A and B are shown apart, each in its own frame.
Chain A
Amino acid sequence: MVRCFLIHTVCSVSALGAGESRLLYSRLFGPDEGIFSDRERGLNPEERRLVQKERIAVVARQVRSAVSLSREASARVLVETVPGEEALALQEADSGVVRLRAGDPFSEEMSALWLGVQSLGFTLVCEPHENLLLAEGTLRNLTRHCLEHLHMLGQGSEVLLRSNRVDALLSRLLPHGQLLFLNHRFAQALEKEVAAYMAK
């Protein structure tokens, strides 16, 4: 199953230090990691939540550095796209996968798939035996919907105030972190439901 889905910055943000990443959306699925770790079992819920938040921050930072190294190596020039050009932005996006070693920060090894669309990164952290081909397709689909429904190519910090839309999207396309084998017909049916939600 997928452990978490993140939307975060992958460019330099003036208010943050170099290499830091601002989290715009995060959703964790499945077990609370604290239960697996002896060290964390003794923590109270508040402390556990803190540890969880920091764990996500670690993932975001690692992906940020992977994205910037990848962009540096490929020496591609980032083309600025404006709202309305979501399909183009998605096509131009770079992608990759980061291996997260066991213990850093999850208790077992994970694969973090990422898509870098301009200054935004969309990350899906999967368990090791997950079907990465399916995960990649799902990530692209989720990203496309987020870009379209949340106008993310503009200046907007709209995503911060519309996290419930991303929640609803995830509840259809990635319910409880479960990757789904959806052919175009099934996907259409679910996307209709999502569109209906967003319209209200």
Chain B
Amino acid sequence: MFNPCALCVISREIQESELQKFYSRLVKLLQGKELGHETIDSLQRLHLILSATKYTRTLPPELQKKVQSLLSSPKEHFQVLSSAVLRETLPLSGQEGNYNQENISQLNSHAAVLLADLSSLCAQLLRSLESRQSEVPAHSLTHTLPILNTILTLSPECLTDDHVTLLNKKLVDWLRYASITQGGGASSGGFFTGPRSRQPVPTAELDGAVSGDFFTVLCVGQGFTEDQWMNVYSFSMLRHWLLTYHSVLSGNGTADTDDRSEVDGSVVSIVSATSSSGRLLPPKERLREKSFQYCLRLIEQSDRKAHRKTDTDLQKACLVEAVCILDCVCEEDASLVFRAFPCIKALFGRLSSDLSFARVLLPIAQFYLNHGEMAAVDCESVWKLVFGRFPAELFNDHFLAHELLRFLRLNLKSLQHRVPQYTRSFPNLLKFLAWDSPAVVDDFVDLLPSLVTAGTAVELLHTLLDLPCLSATLVLQVRSTCLPISEPGGRGLQSPDAYRNPSFRGLFLFLLRGDAGDTIDRLSTLHELLAETADWPRVVQCAQTVPLLLHIFFNTVITVKRLKRSLQNRQLRVTLLYVFTLISSLAPCLALALCFCRVFSSHLLRFCKLHPSLVVDQSHELLEFAGATANVYSKEGIYTHVVWVLGEYLSVSCDSRCSVRLITSCFEALEAVLFEITSSVPPPGADCPAPRVVTTLMSALAKLASRSHDLIPRVSLFLSKLRTLTRGGSVAWCSDEEDLVAIVTRGEELWSLLKAPGVAQSVLTPPPHVTTPQWHRDTNVAMPLRLRALTKSQSGY
């Protein structure tokens, strides 16, 4: 059994006395002339003790000084260990820039991590780059660039303009002019060659051919020269460097040059295409040009068939990097777009039919999005891939899902403007969610609002509610491609057979559709077919995310301005109707149904507040729901809301179509339910109705009666009867005495209110200007407010 805990716990809970003994032993060891294995083991132990706890331990000063001196030890083991130990503890108190150049005589990679003064570290690194010290071992130079890369992230302002210029020049040298012969003493001869035949051998490409052009990361050799190593390190940090120092926003007057080049785009491109290498460009522009060439070369080299899988993977990674860098330099210098596009287009043509290059095609899509308009290139085929084939066929590729969804998130505004098929592609995009909900639900929380449009809202809602079915279908699809022949006498699962059955094909194909624009009626059949998949882990995980998405959906529909204006009542009505039918038909024991009900209840109120006339529109369905006594017991939450909504918004002031007959029929429906639940025992298996339901029903009846006064006697009669009945003590339909008291009290309040119909009407159906006060905007209300404010400010606090 894997159990690393014991060691961690021991290290964390070591006794102080034992610890001190250990420290002194270690100091003694470090004082010795020869430092051997025992020292290494003890240092490692020390590191474990320090890192096992999140609270910092400080070392005794003597020990700390000794460890610090090890940073410049010639043996790498000690450099590594001392660096690791010092990282886990604090610098000696009283000395701020403790680890500085004086202490560390020879700057090695492990020591550099600890240095706090970045500007001088920077200066020192660049000085070492400039000078060509022969005693500096090759690899200590190679670490300069990675260290500089971290400085770029931490505080790019450490580098002065001179530093930047120097680095621009050095990067050009390493990237473009590294040696093209193999290093490490490789020779063209065999074992028996003499000194005469020892000629320098050129580097090779990944498919074995001899390199015909400058050195890049995709060139191989028996050994490598120092500048070839620097070529690798330079390319590895190139994008970060360009993004940090070359972006248009970083000023230096580049903005002007870019404007000009955009205007004279056609003229400039011809010039730069022919004579760029001949012109003497300033270092920054020169680096840009050389990076451009490097990327084009990488793209060409990636077409070669590498012998090893790791190299093939590297080629893909290089393609991604090359396209990203091209995107970056084209942002800075728009004239490069015309030179880059033919290459990018050709690359797209080469890769678009091969799904294994999907992740490479995403940066290409980004390039098209950023520069396609300027180059007037048709991007249709790109979007067909991104919104069509990728989600439809590669929904189970975690990394592609992550990158594609990230691409959407980052470019949301441009996509919404320029790519009309984005909002219609939700059936496809949701496949990522249906397959791997936990990993991508976060992305959909961000993306879902943008997918809700006036035209697709209802269909989107349908799709969200059917997500678990989609999840099951995708699982079946994947399984059927893995196991083409159905297993005889299988495990009794009906779903795989149903999936293959031609008569149900249409239903499954509907679920698997790519574009919005379809509707279907026989979904209940589908639900039955897939019922047994409800406990598959993937389906369960998917189902758990649906309530959250519904929340976001409803929230977007209600709050987003563009939807408020364009979404018509009719669409809202249809939405409401659909959800309602679904909720009514879902068996209440389904945990999912309860979730839907909960989500929907909270949004129902907001819906109706926004569009009160909805209640009149949907009165038939609402009454049908409210009139079914069974709903009081099984769907109490949403029942209460429906009743409240009916009471509140079924009035002429909300919608002029509300007739007396409508009010009366609503009244009668609710009255019947109230009678039933307060005169009998709850049905077997159900609890007593919640007090809130009873009081809401009573209030609703009172409100309706206040609008149609001939109903008032009926309500009053019921309320007084209620008072009499409950005087006897407990009742069958209410178990708690306090609750009963509350109900009766409310009944009495309503009864006394209804004795004065005019008052009842203004209290229970207040006119709009009372419910939505205008405060300071209303001249009647404003005056008292102003006076109060003035008085307060004059009298002081």
A residues sitting closer than 8 Å to B (CB atoms) are 1, 9, 11, 13-16, 22, 24, 26, 29-31, 35, 45-46, 49-50, 53-54, 57, 65-66, 69-70, 72-75, 95-99, 101, 111, 119-120, 127-129, 131-134, 136-137, 155, 157, 159-164, 167-168, 171, 175-187, 189, 197, 200
Contacts and interface: CB of A to CB of B under 8 A. Distances in A.
Nearest to B37: A200
Given A45-B56, A73-B541, 19 more contacts: A1-B149, A15-B3, A22-B4, A31-B153, A50-B56, A75-B537, A111-B406, A155-B3, A164-B80, A167-B80, A175-B146, A176-B109, A176-B112, A177-B149, A178-B145, A178-B233, A183-B217, A185-B221, A187-B310
B369 interface: no
Contacts of A181: 217, 232, 235-236, 314, 317-318, 321
A96 B316 contact: no
Interface residues of B, number: 85
B192 interface: no
Contacts of B40: 164
A176 B236 contact: no
Interface stretch (B19-27, B438-446, B503-511): B438-446
Contact of B48 (A128, A132, A161): A161
B399 interface: yes
B235 A197 contact: no
Nearest 5 A/B pairs, CB to CB:
A53-B54, A178-B146, A157-B4, A31-B154, A176-B146
Chief secondary structure at chain B's binding surface: helix
Given A178-B236, A181-B236, A171 B150 contact: no
Given A73-B537, A178-B149, A184-B308, A16 B321 contact: no
18 contacts: A13-B3, A24-B4, A30-B154, A49-B90, A73-B436, A74-B538, A75-B537, A96-B399, A99-B402, A127-B153, A134-B321, A161-B7, A164-B80, A167-B83, A171-B109, A171-B110, A187-B310, A197-B77
B102 to A, nearest CB: 21
B76 A179 contact: no
A169 B240 CA distance: 23
B595 interface: no
A185 B224 contact: yes
A30 B240 CA distance: 14
Contacts of A119: 2
Contact of A1 (B143, B150, B221): B150
Contacts of B537: 72-73, 75
A179 B795 CA distance: 68
B56 to A, nearest CB: 5
Contacts of A96: 398-399, 439
**B5, B9, B223 — most chain A CB neighbours (10 Å):** B5
B117 interface: no
Given A180-B236, A181-B217, A181-B236, A163 B47 contact: yes
Contacts of B538: 73-74
Contacts of A26: 51
B467 interface: no
B206 interface: yes
Given A31-B154, A155-B1, A97 B439 contact: yes
Interface in B37-56: 40-41, 43-45, 47-48, 51, 54-56
A160 B313 contact: no
A49 B56 contact: yes
A147 to B, nearest CB: 13
Nearest to B236: A180
Contact of A133 (B76, B243, B320, B398): B320
Contact of B439 (A46, A98, A136, A175): A98
B220 A184 contact: yes
A30 B148 CA distance: 10
B25 to A, nearest CB: 17
A15 to B, nearest CB: 4
Given A9-B4, A22-B5, A164 B311 contact: no
A176 B399 contact: no
A2 to B, nearest CB: 10
A184 B149 CA distance: 24
Given A30-B150, A131-B324, A132-B403, A160 B8 contact: yes
B218 interface: yes
A66 B439 contact: yes
Contacts of A157: 3-4, 6-7
Contacts of A9: 2, 4
